[in-house]
Structure 1
Amino acid sequence: MVTIVSDDLRVSVLVSSSSGNVTYIETPKHHVLVDAGMSGKKIKESLDSIGKDINDIDSLFVTHEHSDHVQGVGVLARRYDLNVYANQKTWDAMASKIGKVPDEKKNIFEHNKIMTLDDLDIQSFAVSHDAADPQFYKFYHNGKTFVILTDTGYVSEKVQKTIENADAYLMECNHDVEMLRNGMYPWPLKQRILSEKGHLSNDDGARTLMDVIGNKTKEIYLGHLSPENNTKTVARTSVTDILEQHDFGVGHDFKIMDTDPKVADPLITL
């Protein structure tokens, strides 16, 4: 039985990296996941680590069909009777990867829409990535907002406007450009990552934050780090330096927080 003690929006980045992504979001009436890029067993263990029961999850929002975002979608939907939300092209693209999902649990949620689940509003927005129809989400509850934006090669003015002045962000900082250029990846893969349908670098993530941070913003998670082309220290230092050079109050007005490919971030209240 779920015990509710407040009317807050609470979040935890359970895992985030180029090998797996799952985020937990909680309101008094809903406990949801965004993506399921690990096995069902590991997602359950990750939820246990922050004191949450996987049986309380009611909904799962999918951003796109890449395996680091959908590995556990089918298992969770079948085993825990979850409602799963994705746009039609993503459903089509991930069908062979996730197995059968009961028709009554499949929900079409196209981009640039807003849906309401009781006390939780969710806004979808399209991004530029090499997937069928990638989209990410902005969550609203009780005057608080949380934005997830990873897996995009660039951020348009339209997206900037959609996500500005959120209380918290999970922002992509996938790679350090020099580490990527000098690394062991084959050149076609490097080109793909650096392209407008690839991933945001640390510097790109910082510049995006400069455009969207507002007076409400208090927490920023740096996410989707590549273990081959980035480190937590490099990402945090790069983003902090750029923001401080432009007079943003890092550590005063808002906090910058790491994410991890294996260890869940503590549950925070926005």
Structure 2
Amino acid sequence: MRFSVLASGSTGNAIYVETDEHAFLVDVGLSGKKMEQLFSKIGRDLRKLTGILITHEHSDHIKGLGVIARKYQVPIYANEKTWRALDELVGNIPLDQRFLFNMESIKSFGSLDIESFAVSHDAVDPMFYVFHENGRKLAIITDTGYVSDRMKGFIRGADAFVFETNHDINMLQMGKYPWSIKRRILSDVGHVSNEDAAVAMSEVVEEKPTHIYLSHLSKENNMKELARMTVKQVLASYGIKEGEFLHLHDTDAEEPTLLVTV
């Protein structure tokens, strides 16, 4: 199983996951043109996608969905409530491209099993995904106000995580956002801070080679260096040192990460 975080941040999100037989895109949060450029950068072809998995209906996750779906005739997977929200946002998607992916269920594609799980975010029915293949596990969790014990159960022991580190609390509190937006981000249906994400990480990583991609960073309220430093320090306080078995990686709002094998 191989993957690349094509783009991650408050301006747009998309993650590519493939096996030898299948290829999936999780979210299409950038324009169709930008998605084509990102695929070109990792040497992959949108025409070969098995499907697109949608997490929720916010624009930074579906901006290019309608264009890509219609141009490349890709099957789209989302839960029922999310589909109803998408109908008003992405234009017409033919019925033969629409597939239901129920909350907390598993769909199998050859050797690949994809598992969905609920998160806490202010969307109609947000959910994220865990990919399983041949004993390897990739967990994607962003856009959640907190990481519950139930969520931890789904993602625990992954070999690679795409994990939200949205904001630094001090930067957010001192920043220019109106209080209403700050309150929303800090709420249980907002986004996870660097500190809270690191605490959750300490409870789900296992002592084996593990890679964590710090993702969905706020452009205004976080920095890559700050997110990495905070996560590293919090994990160290729990006795987990970066470089022993755990490795932290940055993601970017414009450039894809290298296509790596899980």
- The structural deviation recorded for 1:215 is 2.6
1:125 to 117, 130, 133: 117
Alpha-carbon distance, 1:41 to partner: 1.0
| Structure 1: gaps (5+ residues) | 1-8
Per-residue deviation, residues 97-119 of structure 1 (Å, max 9, x unmatched): 11111101101111111111122
- Whether 1:148 aligns to 2:168 is no
SS at match of 2:173: helix
Q: Match of 2:44? A: 52
- Contact kept? 1:35, 1:63, Cα under 8 Å: yes
SS of equivalent to 1:175: coil
Corresponding residue to 1:102 among 85, 94, 99: 94
Q: Which residue of 2 aligns with 1:202?
A: 194
The one-letter amino acid of 2:51's match is: S
1:4 is matched with none
2:25 corresponds to which of 25, 33, 44: 33
- The C-alpha deviation readout for 1:14-66, integer Å capped at 9, x for no partner, is 00001100000010111110000001111111011011112111210000000
Which residue number in structure 2 is paired with residue 17 of structure 1? 9
- Distance in 2, matches of 1:189 and 1:112, equals 30
What's the secondary structure of 2:89's corresponding residue? Answer: helix
Q: TM-score, normalised by structure 1?
A: 0.95
Structure 2, gaps ≥5 residues long: none
**Identity %, equivalent residues:** 46
State how far apart, in whole Å, the 2-side matches of 1:33 and 1:197 are. Answer: 24
C-alpha change, 1:80 and 1:216, in structure 2 (3 Å) is: farther
Contact 1:166 1:216 in 2 (8 A): no
Indicate the residue corresponding to 2:216 in structure 1.
224
Normalization by structure 2: what TM-score?
A: 0.98
Q: Which residue matches 2:232?
A: 240
Q: Deviations over 1:143-189 (max 9, x none)?
A: 11101000000111111111100000000000000000000000000
Distance 2:136 2:257 in 1: 19
Q: Deviation digits for residues 58-90 of structure 1, max 9, x if unmatched?
A: 210000000000011111111111110000100
Residue 75 and residue 216 in structure 1: after superposition, are their counterparts in 2 closer, same or farther (change >3 A)? farther
The answer as to 2:74 corresponding to 1:82 is: yes
Shift of 1:141: 1.0
Partner Cα distance (1:195, 1:160) in 2: 19
**Residue 211 of structure 2 is aligned to residue 184 of structure 1:** no
Q: How many residues align?
A: 262
Structure 1 ranges of 4+ moved more than 3 A: none
